[in-house]
């Protein structure tokens, strides 16, 4: 049975979704546990985004290599090894070593994991099922963000070392879960493992994808989305004590959870109403994300914050799922799914690095958090509008 004929919820898909849930749970619980740790160790506020910047920098540095590795081996086994690296990074933090070093090691594992986890979707399903498979992947990821973020914050309020130990155990479970993903044949063999040759291949893949109007559209859209998403997460950490007067670790995670719940709903709606042929339907949702963030920044009550963050999540899921599916489908036919996701990761994480760097700078300069939120939302809405208009002109 080939990918087209197999049911959406095949054994392979169930194994991938379970492994992804555990890995993403660990990622998000570890972030908030580590943020609590560096707060306890009296690092300055502006250093919090630096933690995430160290994480995303690994994606950028390893981008020329991880996609080719994912396409050259069984992707399930690549995912297993990547989760092993995440486990090692969590143990570094758990045993009291430098948290920035440990979280960077988790970033190395995540950089290797991403092309394999998305690339495998194009190997176990295809066509219109690919959008639905991406919806399942995003729903699993966001459910893990929801549970992992809340668990990380609550456990950190109770005992930080215990929170870190739970993260390590979850990564261990993810390694075991990866063993149940069937060993699929390699998509493309690397002709040379020399770094210069691999770099050249990656550069060629970048050129191919950026010259294609559809994949360029997807790359820009997803990069803007994830750069904005990671910045919003850190914005919440500083916004909560200013706007709500709450200083615990759990409240920002609960607010992040509302975004996660919304993304699950938005991903489901995208799978139902958007196809690869009608992918532009997602663009108004992207513009409304920026508008909603600007309104959110001026709120002072918990209820309004919950409602707006839920709406931001719904809009985000509806926006990003079709763009991911478009890139995977077209990238698989041109440069290989793993290479396509690696190029996407380069764009997304460069956007994250730049946005986090700018965010850290404005916080260090003392710009009020409300002003940061309003400016951030307006700029994001304008950027998505420009992208949408450029696509219509291209047609």
pLDDT in tens, 23-60: 989 988 888 888 888 887 777 766 677 777 788 788 78
Q: What angle do CA 283, 236, 384 make, to 5 degrees?
A: 15
- Those residues with Cβ within 8 angstroms of residue 362's Cβ, 6 or more apart along the chain or in another chain: 372
- Domains of the chain plus CATH, in order, are 1-190 (1.20.1250.20), 210-394 (1.20.1250.20)
Q: Do 152 and 32 touch, CB atoms closer than 8 A?
A: yes
DSSP 151-216: HHHHHHHH-HHHHHHHHHHHHHHHHHHHTTS--PPPS---S---HHHHHHHHHHHHHHHHHSHHHH
- As a whole number, mean pLDDT of residues 161-168 equals 88
DSSP string of 226-265, one letter each residue: HHHHHHHHHHHHHHIIIII----SHHHHHHHHHHHHHHHH
Note the pLDDT tens digit of each residue in 226-249.
Answer: 888 878 877 887 888 888 888 776
- Residue 86 scores a pLDDT above 90: yes
Residue 258 has pLDDT above 90, yes or no: no
What's the pLDDT score for residue 170? 92
Give residue 130's Cα distance to chain centre. 18
Q: What is the pLDDT of residues 190-220, one digit of tens each?
A: 666 677 777 787 888 888 888 887 888 888 8
Helical (H) or strand (E) element with 48: helix 48-72
In the predicted model, what is the mean pLDDT of the chain? Answer: 80
- Reported confidence tier of residue 1, pLDDT bands at 50, 70, 90: very low
Give the mean pLDDT of 102-106: 89
pLDDT of residue 4: 46
Owner of token pair 């994606």: 59
Say what the pLDDT of residue 187 is.
58
Task: Show the tokens assigned to 316.
Answer: 């985000």
The mean pLDDT value for 8-21 works out to 77
pLDDT range class, residue 169, cuts 50, 70, 90: very high
């Amino acid at each position: 049975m080939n990918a087209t004929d197999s049911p959406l919820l095949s054994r392979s898909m169930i194994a991938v979704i379970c492994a992804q849930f555990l890995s993403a749970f660990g990622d998000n619980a570890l972030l908030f546990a580590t943020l609590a740790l560096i707060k306890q160790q009296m690092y300055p506020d502006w250093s919090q985004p630096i933690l995430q910047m160290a994480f995303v920098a690994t994606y950028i540095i390893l981008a020329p290599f991880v996609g080719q590795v994912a396409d050259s081996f069984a992707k399930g086994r690549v995912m297993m090894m990547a989760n092993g690296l995440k486990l090692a990074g969590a143990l570094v933090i758990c045993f009291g070593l430098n948290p920035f070093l440990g979280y960077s090691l988790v970033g190395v594992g995540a950089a290797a994991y991403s092309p394999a986890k998305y690339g495998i979707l194009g190997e176990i399903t295809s066509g219109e099922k690919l959008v639905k498979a991406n919806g399942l992947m995003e729903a699993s990821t966001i459910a893990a963000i929801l549970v992992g973020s809340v668990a990380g914050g609550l456990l950190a309020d109770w005992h930080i070392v215990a929170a870190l130990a739970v993260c390590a155990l979850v990564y261990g479970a993810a390694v075991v879960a990866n063993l149940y993903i069937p060993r699929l044949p390699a998509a493309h063999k690397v002709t040379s493992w020399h770094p210069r040759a691999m770099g050249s291949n990656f550069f060629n893949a970048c050129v191919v994808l950026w010259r294609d109007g559809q994949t360029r559209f997807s790359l820009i859209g997803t990069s803007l989305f994830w750069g904005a998403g990671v910045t919003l997460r850190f914005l919440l950490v500083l916004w909560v004590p200013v706007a709500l007067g709450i200083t615990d670790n759990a409240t920002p995670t609960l607010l992040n959870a509302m975004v996660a719940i919304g993304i699950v709903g938005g991903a489901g709606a995208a799978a139902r109403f958007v196809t690869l042929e009608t992918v532009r339907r997602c663009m108004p949702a992207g513009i409304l994300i920026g508008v909603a963030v600007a309104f959110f920044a001026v709120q002072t009550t918990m209820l309004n914050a919950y409602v707006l963050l839920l709406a931001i999540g719904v809009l985000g899921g509806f926006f990003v799922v079709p763009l991911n599916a478009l890139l995977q489908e077209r990238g698989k036919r041109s440069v290989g799914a793993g290479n396509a996701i690696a190029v996407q990761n380069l764009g997304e994480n460069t956007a994250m690095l730049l946005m986090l760097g700018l965010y850290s700078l404005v916080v260090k300069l003392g710009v009020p958090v409300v002003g940061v939120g309003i400016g951030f939302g307006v700029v994001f809405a304008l950027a998505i509008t420009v992208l949408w208009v450029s696509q219509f002109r291209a047609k």
